[in-house]
Amino acid sequence: MTAPVFVVATDRLTAAAPGALVRLDGAEGRHAVAVKRLEPGEPLTLTDGQGLGAHGTVAALHGKDALDVEVAELRAEPAPSPRITVVQALPKGDRGELAVETMTEVGVDRVVPWSAARCITQWKGERGAKALAKWRATAREAGKQSRRLRFPEVTEPMTTRQLAPLLAGAQFAAVLHEEGAEPLAAAALPAGGELVLVVGPEGGVSPEELAAFAEAGARPFRLGPSVLRTSTAGVAAGALLLGRTGRWS
């Protein structure tokens, strides 16, 4: 089994070196000591969630909420290429967190919450801020669980109009749509740059939205013979692109 991952501040990793001790405390230290019950000599990985990591072993425990890690190896994970962004329409209930969790696990690099016209759920005011915080916390925890050193970014929510520059600037932009003329599995993909997938709500992408996306350079593609829920479509499409671009090789 691979070593568990815990998050520390970037400056603790940049100041570390093989053989040095790094303190893990706060909520992460408490989780390591009281929940994971790690003991001296056991392996673990520290990361800032932005590509820096330190592999090492527990050197000493300090009460119930802190421990020292003796660093064995430092690692800097390069920025991914191509970078995969999923524009995720807001699902009902907790399906948004499910989508973020599974997309993080497969390796998606950025998630953009989208307030589509046919979304039943709309993020407004304090409720929207809490929902966004949940998505970000989910990405962080799923990043740790899947042993990632670079966690996906979850941006501020965007409207259809705000998405236009993102799509226009991408090297490849696709709208997942059951009536797409071309399968995503056969699409011509660039070797690098930004790949953006748009996942609509349960009610589908409206004709007006499809027209706006087409004007920005995003064409409709079908994913497969079956129609997936909005909370799983981004996961399946993201995995397909990760495999096709060599990110999984």
pLDDT in tens, 141-200: 999 999 999 999 999 999 999 999 999 999 999 999 987 889 999 999 999 999 999 999
Which DSSP letter does residue 103 get? H
Helix spans in the chain (H): 10-14, 26-30, 95-106, 125-145, 160-168, 207-215, 230-244
- CATH 2.40.240.20 residue ranges of the chain are 5-76
Q: 130 vs 225, which has greater pLDDT? A: 130
| pLDDT for the residue 1 | 67
What's the CATH number for 5-76?
A: 2.40.240.20
Cβ atoms 210, 175 nearer than 8 A: yes
Q: Which two tokens stand for residue 7?
A: 């998050």
Tokens for 65, please give them: 């909420």
Q: Mean of the pLDDT values across residues 96-106?
A: 97
For residue 82, is the peptide bond before it cis, meaning its omega torsion is within 30 degrees of 0? yes
pLDDT digits (tens, 9 = 90+) for 40-75: 999 999 999 999 999 999 999 999 999 999 999 999
Q: Where in the chain is the domain with CATH 3.40.1280.10?
A: 83-245
Give residue 154's region: left, alpha or beta (phi > 0; psi -120 to 50). beta
Q: Which amino acid is at 12?
A: R
Cα 242 from Cα 99, distance rounded (Å): 16
DSSP character string of 160-179: HHHHHHHHHTSSEEEEE-TT
* Phi, psi of 111, rounded to the nearest 5 degrees: -125, 130
Q: What pLDDT digit, counting tens, does each position of 123-158 carry?
A: 989 999 999 999 999 999 999 999 999 999 999 999
Decide yes or no: CATH 3.30.499.10 for domain 83-245. Answer: no
**pTM across the whole model:** 0.94
pLDDT of residue 87: 98
